[in-house]
Structure 1
């Protein structure tokens, strides 16, 4: 059966979005990898399906490029939220995900805010292999007496994140250290690895080595995690602009209810039919 898809991106973090409300979609890891392949397939960081839901406007599922299904993807949630709002003509859409219900709200022309919910800050939320204070865990990279990276914060945004604070993002060893930490024994479910440079109280420069996808142009949940980790340490205010390789997101950790709100663009690149 031929199945239409949309190629979308949020700040260059790109997705193949499949309509699966009329017919079930259950790709194998091999099929996900084939679709995600930039050489032989359509090419994307994540594969996303929109399915029927009795709790929300739609259910949304996410797979990383390596074939593994994951519970959350912030940029993709923004893109799907925009699609659902365009289809309904409304200014709000509710999505059912593995991590719970997410609400998207129109915030401008092709600009969408998504309520990403309350961050998980307990060591069991991440999860970590042993009990630690997630504000700054015992993990370092480099010589014991002079580590190049140390004491990162950990946050769950429906998926696990570790955030290292670095003096200069241009010299941060993202590609060298990212894959090493992604599969570190401290993280039984593997982890997304963020490298954050605090530019100002309201500005963070961020690069993220994504679990199962590698270095991407932008990571929405990574941006949320970085703001939360930074604010917990008193490094920033509770709202900041996150500057990613693909562009900027506004992240607010709302004091009223503890929810994290992510605002940024959603774009459609092209449409096609899955082979």
Structure 2
């Protein structure tokens, strides 16, 4: 069986996107993991399956590189808007809105949630200043923007061994659904950050992570809206006011499309 796909990326955060409206697809964690394999499959951070929806223009499901399904992905949302022209997308985290803005795409991510049970955390604690530490990383800010994030404001994100801290924090029992981990610094030109995504590892950019970092910086009065969030793969502009949804604007790039022989993955 041949599976038609599109390869896209948002600031280097790359996706294999399959349009299930045009072909019959039964996606499983095993198949998603095989397609995402950079040596034996197409290779990507996340596998995206577009489908029909009675609540929005299209629906979107997301599988991480490790085959685990997640609720939200900001960079992928922009890519789906760019690919399909959809104005609304139904995700497991709710319906989001999107629109093209010249060469960029803007999407609205759900209103942030800050309760410990919303992140979720294993027990009650102050999510704006977590009473937890992983060696030199402490005073984390936890927020859910459709998926769970913890942001650490540091002097220099480039000097943090995120490949060491990332998996430790992601899989810490304090986070029963695991967590995305970010280190960030607020400078004159905006927020500079690096990300460790649950189920994917180090990525060049994380859309919802950029939203989480911006929300954390604005909530703690380190920054004002809108704010530029700079990541190794590029820059997003994030806008947010308390009580409102988060808006994210940035590029969405189509690289190529093709047909994958699923038998070759076995």
TM above 0.5, yes or no, is yes
- Residue 269 of structure 1 pairs with residue 255 of structure 2: yes
1:198 maps to which of 186, 207, 231: 186
Shift of 1:117: 1.9
Shift of 1:174: 1.0
- Residue 182 of structure 1 pairs with residue 170 of structure 2: yes
- Residue 117 of structure 1 pairs with residue 117 of structure 2: no
- Which aligned pairs between 1:110-189 and structure 2 lie closer than 5 A? 111-142=104-135, 148-189=136-177
Bigger CA drift: 69-78 or 167-176? 167-176
- Residue 69 of structure 1 pairs with residue 62 of structure 2: no
CA distance in 2, matches of 1:227, 1:162: 12
CA distance in 1, matches of 2:115, 2:225: 19
What is the aligned partner in structure 2 of residue 36 from structure 1? 36
Shift of 1:82: 1.2
Aligned 8 A contact 2:145 2:208 in 1: yes
Aligned 8 A contact 1:254 1:261 in 2: no
1:217-242 superposed Cα distances (whole Å, 9 cap, x missing partner): 00000000001111111111132100
CA RMSD of aligned residues (A): 1.2
Shift of 1:140: 0.7
1:163-190 superposed Cα distances (whole Å, 9 cap, x missing partner): 1111011211211100100000100000
What is the aligned partner in structure 2 of residue 89 from structure 1? none
SS of 2:54's partner is coil
**TM-score, structure 2 normalization:** 0.95
1:85-113 superposed Cα distances (whole Å, 9 cap, x missing partner): 1xxxxxx610000000010011112x100
What is the aligned partner in structure 2 of residue 238 from structure 1? 225
Bigger CA drift: 117-126 or 214-223? 117-126
- Residue 21 of structure 1 pairs with residue 21 of structure 2: yes
Aligned 8 A contact 2:183 2:194 in 1: yes
2:214 maps to which of 222, 227, 232: 227
Aligned 8 A contact 1:8 1:270 in 2: yes
CA shift in 2, pair 1:26/1:71, >3 Å: same
Shift of 1:274: 2.3
Shift of 1:191: 0.3
SS of 2:113's partner is coil
Shift of 1:70: 0.4
2:92 maps to which of 84, 92, 98: 98
CA distance in 2, matches of 1:247, 1:127: 29
Aligned 8 A contact 1:4 1:272 in 2: yes
Shift of 1:254: 3.2
What stretches of structure 1 of length at least 5 have no aligned partner?
Answer: 86-91, 143-147
